Amino acid sequence: MTLRLSQRVQRVSLSANAAAKSRATELREAGRDILDLTTGEPDFDTPEHIKHAAYAAIAGGATRYTPTPGVKALRVAVQRKLQRENHLDYSLPSIVIANGAKQIIFNAFAATLDDGDEVLVPTPYWPSFPDSVRFNGGEPVFIECGLAQGCKLTAEQLELHIGERTRWLILNGPGNPSGAVYSAVELQAIAEVLRRHPQVLILLDELYEHIRFDGQPAQSLLNVAPDLQARCLLVGGVSKTYAMTGWRIGFGAGPRVLTDAMAVVQSQSTSGASSVGQAAALAAFDGGLEFLPEQVAAYQQRRNLLVSTLRNVDGLDVLEPQGGFFVFVRCAGLLGRYRPDGIRLDSDADVVAYLLEEGVAGVAGSAYGLSPWFRLSIATATDSVGEAGRRIARACTQLRGEA
């Protein structure tokens, strides 16, 4: 018997981030000295007051099914958070909770896309964006945003790519993998284009909103263009800010007709998110951000270490991130060179494979739709980040121009 898989599942692929992480783990377990810079997972622990809220929830018997849109108390906490931190007002029915921000995004596309609908995806992108679109019958339309423009979408590019079938635009800031942050002027220009195309919905992925290195507060498209709120889905969660990746709680805030439909989708897949996870997230949103400056300072120190080292390496061009957990590096200058063992580097995948042999695990830029680049995570120990930079620099000096 041959098992026939659906066309739907064949349109998507396993996460390249997960594959790179798995390979690094295998090598480390085999005794290799590998510095793992693959995953955007904070190396800080979840704050104690959040963990204690989870313990209390368990002790209090909060271990049963939850409402599909989310526990009311948590939705109220998200509502307060959006008012307090983002200066945005949402009604309670416009806020939904899911098993991580990834599920929010998936549910939104499942609720709105028909076969052939197009979603504009600036490149580089987080890999789950296009695959969530494909899985739900849509077509991702890629807009390349390279080094010269800081890996950010321009208003002119947006205007050129909007068509009759355009359903969504995705805006991710601070960006993954780029760390790019849009200025108010850039957001205003994008908003002007969107006003001319009222059929286009906007997905605002702002998971890294508080991980910024410019000293400025989080800023959204909605802060400069509040008139677009009825067309926007704001996506957030607890994973990055609160070091809660394993708790799997995300939220979406948007027009009620959309959030109601997203709840319908979720009701037929996972139902409500974890009761204990939601209790912990409630404590996170209501517990303040006093712990955060120290963590952001550590990420910034790591960024500075890595950027300052790689910026001086012949063959590499480094985009200095303004936020997030990653340093994104263009490696076009290494292509055509030869490793000490005589193997030629012809792609960013070859470069990443070589760096892995030299003890540093990253992810090829092709996973994010932009080659030849590679991504390195700074969400790991400062000493490891510094040593990774030195290993990469040393590995690049060992390359030869001919075999």
Residue-wise DSSP of 219-285: --HHHH-GGGGGGEEEEEESTTTTT-GGG--EEEE--HHHHHHHHHHHHTTT-SPPHHHHHHHHHHH
User: Is residue 204 domain-shared with residue 327, that is, in the same domain?
Assistant: no
**Domain finish residue from 235, 262, 286:** 286
Would 403 be classed as within a structural domain?
A: no
User: Is residue 275 domain-shared with residue 179, that is, in the same domain?
Assistant: yes
Would 2 be classed as within a structural domain?
A: no
Contact between 123 and 142 under an 8 Å Cβ cutoff? The reply is: yes
CA distance 44 to 294: 11
User: Is residue 58 domain-shared with residue 199, that is, in the same domain?
Assistant: yes
From 204, 262, 243, 174, select the one nearest 88 (Cα to Cα): 204
User: Is residue 52 domain-shared with residue 78, that is, in the same domain?
Assistant: yes
Pairing of β 250-253 and β 360-361: unpaired
User: What pLDDT is attached to residue 216?
Assistant: 85
Would 121 be classed as within a structural domain?
A: yes
Would 1 be classed as within a structural domain?
A: no
**Domain finish residue from 286, 303, 329:** 286
For 382, other C-beta atoms within 10 Å of its C-beta total 14
User: Is residue 20 domain-shared with residue 106, that is, in the same domain?
Assistant: no
User: Is residue 155 domain-shared with residue 192, that is, in the same domain?
Assistant: yes
User: Is residue 78 domain-shared with residue 140, that is, in the same domain?
Assistant: yes
User: Is residue 239 domain-shared with residue 363, that is, in the same domain?
Assistant: no
| Residue-number span of the structural domain to which 322 is assigned | 7-45+292-397
**Domain finish residue from 264, 286, 308:** 286
User: Is residue 214 domain-shared with residue 227, that is, in the same domain?
Assistant: yes
CATH of the domain at 112: 3.40.640.10
CATH of the domain at 19: 3.90.1150.10
Number of structural domains, the chain?
A: 2
Contact between 221 and 189 under an 8 Å Cβ cutoff? The reply is: no
User: Is residue 126 domain-shared with residue 274, that is, in the same domain?
Assistant: yes
pLDDT tens string, the chain, 403 residues long: the values are 789 999 999 998 877 777 888 888 898 899 999 999 999 899 999 999 999 999 999 999 999 999 999 999 999 999 999 999 999 999 999 999 999 999 999 999 999 999 999 999 999 999 999 999 999 999 999 999 999 999 999 999 999 999 999 999 999 999 999 999 999 999 999 999 999 999 999 999 999 999 999 888 888 999 999 999 999 999 999 999 999 999 999 999 999 999 999 999 999 999 999 999 999 999 999 999 999 999 999 999 999 999 999 999 999 999 999 999 999 999 999 999 999 999 999 999 999 999 999 999 999 999 999 999 999 999 999 999 999 999 999 999 999 986 5
For 1, other C-beta atoms within 10 Å of its C-beta total 3
Contact between 325 and 295 under an 8 Å Cβ cutoff? The reply is: no
